[in-house]
Amino acid sequence: MEHINLVETFSEFKEFKNIDRETMMRIIEDVFRHMLNKKYGSDENFTVIVNIDKGDLEIWRNREIVEDGAVEDENKEIQYSEAIKIEPDFEVGEEVSEEIKMADFGRREILTIRQNLMSKIQEYEKDNIYKKYKEKIGEMITGEVYQVWKKEILVLDDEYIELTLPKSEQIPSDFYRKGDTIRAVVSKVDMRNNSPVIILSRTAPSFLERLFESEVPEVYDGLITIRNIVRVPGERAKIAVESYDDRIDPVGACVGMKGSRIHGIVRELRNENIDVINYTTNPSLYINRALSPAKISSITISEDGKRAEVFMKPDQVSLAIGKGGYNIKLASRLTGYEIDVYRDSDIDNEDVDLQEFSDEIDQWIIDELKTIGCDTARSVLERSVDDLVHLTDLEEETIKEVIRILRAEFE
């Protein structure tokens, strides 16, 4: 290896920004010592000096001067007649240091050294990235969209490290182009084929938690504690918060004046509906708050503490269930109770608006029944199956199923 080639090689190594100077010098020294060990049988009597800034490297072999003909190990000893050629003043018993030139290495050895250097440094670089992001799991990062594919997005951080945002970890309405700025949390870090794979997520509850920390100073400072978060990404989320300081209203602080704080979070989550509620150890009150905006008449909790029967007026049922059933599902996950909702009927012959059954009957079927004047449960039950088939475009089996659901309400 010519000296100028060594300088070029060092300049390439400088591109590895995640490796500090001392580590780089140690790696280079280790690789050369490995080659010396292989070439001379030992590297104990060699001194390796690395200067990355100048792209310079010196290798000195230290040998003891012995009498002529008394050399037992040519690598560690040199006879007197050879030593005085280097320096006439040398005497037996002294140590002589002789520089090993790059030209002393064969072309194949030089190529091997170069390949080993690149391999070791890349290996260290990958290991460094893995350790760095392993410690960042759950933290929010900001990156730039570099490539958009069907199943995932490639993101670059500020050090140009590649991160992956799979489709499954994106909010359904997410849409990005190359060059866009993106925020997400580090979800998982793996090593695949000796390379770190960093997975990001925008659907994890921790992403919503990090957003609250960035928008609400009281959460960041620990004055407000987030007790639990549940989400249906892009649709709805519920977050339970509490404060140990009675002077702080945790819900009000999280929402902000006229929703100023939560609006930024909602926009980031593509208009995801966020319910912020006060955490409490009282299960009945906790369930009541979790089912907001519905108003509850009464709650009965099972003895095993796993189920809750919630009674409410008919006009509150659809609010409790929510669009797509998200409200009641999230309330169950937030509180840890399996919640069953019942209509609270004080009068045996009380009628129920047909719309209240939207959680059990498809909306298009309800609309079809309304076109013939059947707006309530009893107005449907008062008609025969044949009449309903004749007056609507519904199948007989569909009508029978509707009647079964409506009758169950009054039984």
pLDDT at 2 over 60: no
237 in a structural domain: no
The three-point CA angle 114-115-121 to 5° equals 90
Shared domain for 10 and 39, answered yes or no, is yes
- 330-342 in b/e burial notation, b at 16+ Cβ within 10 A? bbbbbbebebebe
The answer to which of 8-22, 73-87, 306-320, 382-396 has the lowest mean pLDDT is 8-22
Identify the CATH number of the domain in which residue 305 sits: 3.30.300.20
Q: How far apart are CA 382 and CA 166, in angstroms?
A: 53
320 in a structural domain: yes
Quick one: average pLDDT of 66-80? 85
Quick one: average pLDDT of 17-28? 72
The answer to which of 42-51, 271-280, 333-342 has the lowest mean pLDDT is 42-51
Per-residue tokens: 238: 């519920």
Average confidence score pLDDT of the chain: 86
pLDDT at 52 over 70: no
Q: How far apart are CA 130 and CA 203, in angstroms?
A: 22
274 in a structural domain: no
Quick one: average pLDDT of 33-58? 80
Q: What is residue 8's predicted lDDT score, i.e. its pLDDT?
A: 52
pLDDT at 1 over 50: no
The answer to which of 2-11, 47-56, 259-268, 337-346 has the lowest mean pLDDT is 2-11
pLDDT-derived band at 16 (thresholds 50, 70, 90) equals low
Per-residue tokens: 97: 């240091």
Q: Which domain holds residue 193?
A: 144-201
Quick one: average pLDDT of 218-232? 95
Quick one: average pLDDT of 138-147? 96
Q: What is residue 107's predicted lDDT score, i.e. its pLDDT?
A: 77
272 in a structural domain: no
Identify the CATH number of the domain in which residue 38 sits: 3.30.1480
Q: What is residue 55's predicted lDDT score, i.e. its pLDDT?
A: 63
pLDDT at 284 over 60: yes
- In percent, how much of the chain has pLDDT > 70? 92
Identify the CATH number of the domain in which residue 401 sits: 1.10.150
The answer to which of 14-18, 83-87, 119-123, 209-213 has the lowest mean pLDDT is 14-18
215 in a structural domain: no
Q: How far apart are CA 67 and CA 220, in angstroms?
A: 76
250 in a structural domain: no
Q: What is residue 10's predicted lDDT score, i.e. its pLDDT?
A: 54
